[in-house]
Amino acid sequence: MVAAVASHLENNGGVLVEPLPALATMLQLNDSRWFGYDVDKAFTRLRYIGNWIHNGDVQHLYFPVNISDAHWAVFHVDGIKQTISYADSLNWEMPLTFINLIRRWLNHHRLPPFNK
């Protein structure tokens, strides 16, 4: 079902759905890894996506995150409005840790700090 929704959204252009938690995992790599962001192979997918957002090829990015090893939620990065949104079926507060990680990542692509 997730694959069908992702395919439908992506076929409308400018939308990217990362169905696996790999993106969230990459964002959480330690600071020493982030120091080598431009060359570290672990960040390859993040570099592609960041460039696509910067160039306007991807205007909306959706990806899942596991919150406190307890349940799944989803983040939305809106490249047009330059905002970060969070959807959570349990109505937990938006985890600021992830917001800061997303902002750090986007900063590597010379994008301004997106609002939440």
What number of other Cβ atoms are within 10 A of residue 39's Cβ? 9
Domain range list for the chain: 2-93+102-107
Residue 73 backbone phi and psi in degrees, to 5 = -140, 180
For the chain, 116 residues long, give each residue's pLDDT as a single digit of tens. 455 555 656 666 788 888 778 899 999 999 999 999 999 999 999 999 999 999 999 999 999 998 888 888 999 999 999 999 999 989 998 899 999 999 999 999 999 989 88
Give me the pLDDT at residue 4, please. Answer: 54
Match domain 2-93+102-107 to its CATH number in 1.10.287, 3.40.50, 2.40.50, 3.30.310: 3.30.310
Residue with the two structure tokens 């090893």: 69
Residue 115 β-bridge partners: 83
| Packed helices 96-107 and 44-55: angle between N→C axes, nearest 10 degrees | 70
- Regarding pTM above 0.85, the answer is yes
